Amino acid sequence: MDFDLSDSEDWAGQYLDPNLPLLSSTQIKLARMLVQAGQAHLFTNWPKPGVRDADKLRFFDQVAKLDSSYPGGLAAYVQNARKLLADSKAGKNPFSGYVPSVPDGVKLVHGEETFMQYEEAGVREAQHSAFVLVAGGLGERLGYSGIKLALPTETTTGTSFLQHYINSILALQDANNGDQGEDVKPIPLVIMTSDDTHEKTIELLKKNNNFGMLPDQIVLLKQEKVACISDNNGSLALDPSNNFLIQTKPHGHGDVHNVLYKSGLLTRWQQEGRKWVLFFQDTNALLFKGVPAALGVSALKDLDVNSLAVNRKAKEAIGGIARLTHENGSQMVINVEYNQLDPLLRSTGHPEGDVNVETGFSPFPGNINQLIFKLSSYIEELSKTLGAIVEFVNPKYKDSSKTSFKSSTRLECMMQDYPRTLPTSAKVGFTVLETWLAYAPVKNNPEDARKVPQGNPPHSATSGEMAVYRANCLILKKAGVHIEGPKVETYNGQEVEVWPRIVWSPKWGLTFSDVKRKVKGNCEISQRSTLVIDGKDVSIDDLVVDGSLLLRALVGSKVNIQSLRVSNDGWKMIPVDWTDNSVQEEIRIRGFKLERHGQQSLFFDQPGKCHINNVSM
Ligand code: UTP
């Protein structure tokens, strides 16, 4: 035998010792680590060798996995849990000793000259970037039976979130390919999945040929869950239905730093000359309308960290970005959860807490958790932290003595907490974009969304889809198109603005300059209309639509709409009840379906130039 039982008196004694001969030396080391970390209770009532031996070995497989996936291993996890649980019991504010102030950042207004300059810089910089999509969340609030990435962003084209993200990255890549010059290296996309989303994400990509990305352009990295804790002493919890299984729960999207660090991709990207890593979430169809400008801000201001933000009303339930200065002089610019920001301000000389200023918004912008990091300093920092990130614990106590929990808890971490360990010299900034342009996540089921007080965003499938149409309409309006609307209508109990259903593929209108260049002259779209533009080289001089028009041009077709009038019965939005199970889930969660009563489709599949002049249809 290659293990030493000489110190077995320190072990779990009567239950574990007889089973040691079943275990490999590695498993014995893990057993020793667990006992030393105060986890001997895990072996209580382990039967004699010969009984449930396979379960015992499976138990150690799980322990090995939990140990290797946490920076510092399970012993460090237990130690961190004890400290955080003690702080939580003592009611310690994680930011005590810090004074908040309003940080410096860039505020952009869509369409202004500065916005377009940043967009131009950002598109150029995209060829030196890598994208990381965190998509391991359960999506409990939405309650959709599939993965959120498979949901349509809007139902006019049915484009899923994943397809839309990939199309946007490919459009950024394409924008950097010279007409004659060499093509740029494919822009990488990492998708962080979890046990809850991994297989379905693979399936979605496979079924759709990666939506046009090359097979090695996309890498899936799976985050692992962490062990649950049953008391303030950091005791690991066993699964209530299985004594040989440690109960686990998700650790949060902060895992992305650890999985990226361990993957080796960061150094590979650096060797390829990449400079930026962009992190984004699973259901924000507007995000890529803000990405070029925000990436331009990172590049032109040389920021180590750039958080995308939107204006936020004081006390609105979204984290605020604040500069925190410690008594010892150190500083950080960081997301402070809204329920921590207000008390922190009150306790540091601002008796009114978080209040709106003359702009009508809080001076602390709202973090939308889309982040851009400079790759070189990111690698430097992760080599110090080994990918670990500041954690927190949120136990639900049984009573005010805070000695026991209603159910087991676990440590959690958030990707936006990355700057907390950065040196004060790091350049941490933010870019505020208008909400209508860049932020419309789909997080809530219809039942919860309809209870959101009027004036607050419901963040539902209904509001997410309407936000796509609104953003496209507002952008076209700024480009000079006459757009009728909106109309206010109610779907799934939510009052929403319904604009004409205008959708374009990212390669048609990646930036505002693109849109302005491609749409000129006299264009009018009525409120009841649908307009889909798919094709890089479609320019429009004079177009009137009252009904539905679908324009599609394949690569190589250069289409110029010189003068076109379209009138037909169009597509109608028909209310559906979200509880009506006869309707497809993806449709009923938005509360309406599109009925096609009339449409015109123009499909250009031949290479070369094509003009549409003086046509009425
Ligand atoms: P959300 O806050 O939307 O959480 O996550 P969620 O878990 O998906 O949904 P709920 O709270 O259960 O309703 C923000 C982003 O972080 C990802 C999600 O997939 C989403 O893109 N996420 C969340 C992870 O990748 N891993 C996690 O452990 C948690």
pLDDT at residue 10 in the model: 53
Q: Mind spelling out the 3-state secondary structure of 515-564?
A: HHHHEEEEEEECCCCEEEEECCCEEEEEEEEECEEEEEECCCEEEEECCE
Dist CA 245 CA 196 (whole Å): 18
| Whether residue 387 has its Cβ less than 6 Å from ligand 1 | no
Distance 146 CA to ligand 1 centre (A): 14
State whether the beta carbon of 141 lies less than 6 angstroms from ligand 1.
Answer: yes
- Report the candidate in 323, 322, 325 with the shortest Cα–Cα distance to residue 366: 322
DSSP for 301-320?
Answer: HT-SEEEEEE---TT-SSPE
Predicted confidence at residue 336, as pLDDT, reads: 93
Q: What is the pLDDT of residue 181?
A: 61
CB atoms under 10 Å from CB of 582, counted, come to 7
What gap in Å lies between CA 484 and CA 529, rounded to an integer?
Answer: 9
Residues of the chain with pLDDT under 70: 1-13, 179-181
In this prediction, residue 547 carries a pLDDT of 97
What would the two tokens of residue 302 be? 């040389």
pLDDT at 179: 59
pLDDT at 330: 87
d(CA 453, CA 495) in angstroms, rounded, equals 11
Distance from C-alpha of 259 to C-alpha of 70, rounded to nearest angstrom: 10
The predicted structure's pLDDT at residue 4: 45
Tell me the per-residue pLDDT of 106-145, one tens digit each, with 9 for 90 and over.
999 999 999 999 999 999 999 999 999 999 998 999 999 9
Residue 370 DSSP symbol: E
H/E run at residue 280: strand 276-281
Pocket test of ligand 1: the residue of 131, 138, 258 to mutate, having most ligand atoms within 8 Å of its CB, is 138
- Answer whether 139 contacts ligand 1 (Cβ < 6 A): yes
Cα–Cα distance between 259 and 61 in angstroms, integer?
20
Nearest CA, atom 9, ligand 1:
139
What atom in ligand 1 is closest to the CA of residue 148? Answer: 19
Asked whether 224 and 259 are in contact (CB, 8 A), the reply is no
Is residue 193 within 8 Å of 223, Cβ to Cβ? Answer: yes
Residue 3's pLDDT is: 42
Instruction: Output the residue whose Cα is nearest ligand 1's atom 28.
Output: 252
* Shortest-distance atom of ligand 1 to CA 193: 25
553-565 b/e (C-beta count within 10 Å ≥ 16 → b): beeebbbebebbe
Distance from C-alpha of 355 to C-alpha of 303, rounded to nearest angstrom:
28
User: With a 6 A CB cut-off, is 441 part of the ligand 1 pocket?
Assistant: no
Residue pair 371/304 in contact (Cβ under 8 Å)? The answer is: no
Q: Which parts of 94-246 are beta strand (E)?
A: 98-101, 106-107, 129-134, 189-193, 218-222, 226-227, 229-231, 238-239, 242-246
Ligand 1 centroid–CA 205 distance in Å is 20
Query: Which pLDDT value is given to residue 2?
Result: 41
Taking CA atoms, 207 is separated from 166, 193, 210, 212, in Å, by 14, 17, 8, 11
Q: What is the pLDDT of residue 5?
A: 41
Cα 39 from Cα 58, distance rounded (Å): 17
**Any ligand 1 atom below 6 A from CB of 220:** no
83 in Cβ contact with 485 (< 8 Å): no
**Measured distance CA(387)–CA(379) in Å, rounded:** 9
Structure tokens at 134: 């965190």
* C-alpha of residue 574 to centroid of ligand 1, in Å: 31
Respond yes or no on whether the N-terminal peptide bond of residue 453 is cis (omega within 30° of 0).
no
Minimum CA distance residue for ligand 1 atom 22: 137
Strand ranges, E, within 434-536: 482-483, 487-491, 494-498, 501-504, 519-525, 530-534
399: tokens are 């009573």
Q: Are 233 and 38 in contact (CB under 8 A)?
A: yes
Closest residue (by CA) to atom 4 of ligand 1?
Answer: 137
Q: What is the pLDDT of residue 6?
A: 44
| Ligand 1 atom closest to Cα of residue 280 | 21
Burial 54-78 (b: 16+ CB within 10 A, else e): eebeebbeebeebbebbbeebbebb
Residue 171 alpha carbon to ligand 1 centre in Å: 26
